[in-house]
Structure 1
Amino acid sequence: MKKDDIFEFYRRLAELNPDPETELEYGNVYQLLVAVTLSAQSTDVGVNKATKALFEKVKTPQDMLNLGHDALREHIKTIGLFNSKAKNVMAMAEILVRDFNGDVPADRDLLTTLPGVGRKTANVVMNCAFGAETFAVDTHIFRVGNRTGVAKGKTPLAVEKQLDKKTPHPFRVGSHHWMILHGRYICKARTPECWRCPVEDLCSYKSKSPAK
């Protein structure tokens, strides 16, 4: 996709949704970090259901330690991979209390040293909590980037680098939100709804879905 088309791509998505946000529900930076960690290979809806009661009790890493591993498992048992996620979240809380005075570091490299926190999770936290121009490439963004031609790449990191290179101001902070929402609700994996897509004319994908 050409430079002017990429600008127009984002402009249209921004016009429809001027203030895009993650669909994960949280009350502070620590809760965001926990929610994003739990969301790996799970839906935001499922995570929100599991964390609603959890976040009423847990607002800080120390709260998580006070809650304990078994109680955490009980709260998140409906989420995929809950056993390993519970271990990671507890280990993360211990490190945050011990090494960071209970605060979540505003540094992607430091975030990725925490148990269960990969580059994508760190990018989400940096973007949503600290307003950083990061691009968290999940399956939706990987698909949308390649399918539309906005950012092609064979790996999530390759797509991330293309997004970082090609996404213009003033769309850099909101970019990954617009793309994930577009992929979740319109540019779906199996049946993209091109008939109602606001950027269909800019996209390199040839629609196979019927008009409605």
Structure 2
Amino acid sequence: MPELSESEEEYLEALYRLGGHERQVKVGELAKELKVKEPSVVEMLRKLDNKKLVNYESYAGASLSEKGEDEGRRVTRRHRLAERLLSDVLNRDLPQIHEEACKLEHSMADETADEIARVLKNPETCPHGHPIPEEKSKPESEDLIKLTDGEKDEDYRVVSIPEEKEDVQRLLPLAILPGAKIRIAEKPSFSAIMVSRAGDKVALSRDIASKIEVRPYGKRKRRRHRDRPNR
């Protein structure tokens, strides 16, 4: 397959993260994820469709083809292993590793990614808690949900958090990180959600809460079928 541009890799990675290997992703979703205008998204999707990497339908969105899924998985794997390298070996602060990894993922060879995985003893997740894809897809965890879909007065274990610097900087001082136990205290409006962490109540916007994945506290982790979207 001809070498892909960094922009093309970014789109395939974003589609993979948003679940484009299982469903059609709307143009608006992709535009929000990549922080670009919708006409630019349409133009790129048509280009990727011509390369047989996505299946694009006007007004419906796009899904990844088998080849596109493979490419999206490879880029996502390189990105999350780069985050592990930056965090575990170079001791970079959590808020800054996502942006650095975005640069490294395009220059990193797959063989280098595999070597990083071996050196770090095959970590299962990135520092934000998102699964590091393998060559083949994994079973999906049925009890994994967005925090916004949780029930009031129920306890949950945080599985993953968003990667963007601003979101991490908001969650870090609250200790809302992978592995933390939290409780949904209130869902007072469409704009906020109150959570309790170690006895303290804090307000999270629904935007950031929708990017936090949790599972009911006390449930055992199940094997996954596929990487889940982090949005």
Instruction: With the length of structure 1 as denominator, give the TM-score of the two structures.
Output: 0.29
Structure number with the higher strand fraction is 2
Instruction: With the length of structure 2 as denominator, give the TM-score of the two structures.
Output: 0.28
